[in-house]
Amino acid sequence: YWDVVPFSQYETTKELFQQFQSDKLLILLISSILLICASTNIIALLFILVKEKKHEIALLKTLGASTKQIALTFCIVGLSLSLLGLLSGSCLAYISLDNIPALLKFCSLFFGQELMQPTLITQGSVFPMSLFALKLVFFITPLFALCATLVPALSASRIQPAKLLRS
């Protein structure tokens, strides 16, 4: 008499899951661009530091510092900058993920319209931080920073003190 066709939960919310998947890819793309920008900033900062400290580097070389020691110094500076950014960014991400309802309310007041339906917002951690993503970030960021510091560190270690101190 009645023709009942059962639907799975996936079939009824298929479009929503596809939207979430495309949002994941968009967030991955944006975070990759941010990581490249941060690496570029580290390179630029270290090149400026090398340019400003040329005379001090030449003086260190005349006092007996090896090229490895000078390159290692600049690598440590770049890695410490990236680790500082990594730790502060991770703390801010954890705090913001824990307070998404309050952030959404603040943004709704700022933009003058509701950003998300109140039924979707719950108290507590709406989006738990993925341990895999955290491990990946803690592995990739220092790796990118190390690659970004190599070029300025090598240029600092190749400074010839005799030519520089003469001028």
Per-block average pLDDT, block size 10, for the chain (167 residues)?
A: 64 73 81 86 90 91 91 91 89 82 82 72 61 85 88 90 80
Whether the Cβ atoms of residue 77 and residue 46 lie closer than 8 Å to each other: yes
Phi/psi of residue 124, each to 5°?
Answer: 90, -165
- Those residues whose C-beta lies under 8 Å from the C-beta of residue 163, and which sit 6 or more positions away, are none
Element holding 69 (H helix, E strand): helix 67-98
Report which DSSP code applies to 129: P
pLDDT the model gives residue 165: 75
Report which DSSP code applies to 158: T
pLDDT the model gives residue 136: 85
pLDDT the model gives residue 126: 54
Task: Record the pTM.
Answer: 0.70
Distance CA 71, CA 151 (A): 9
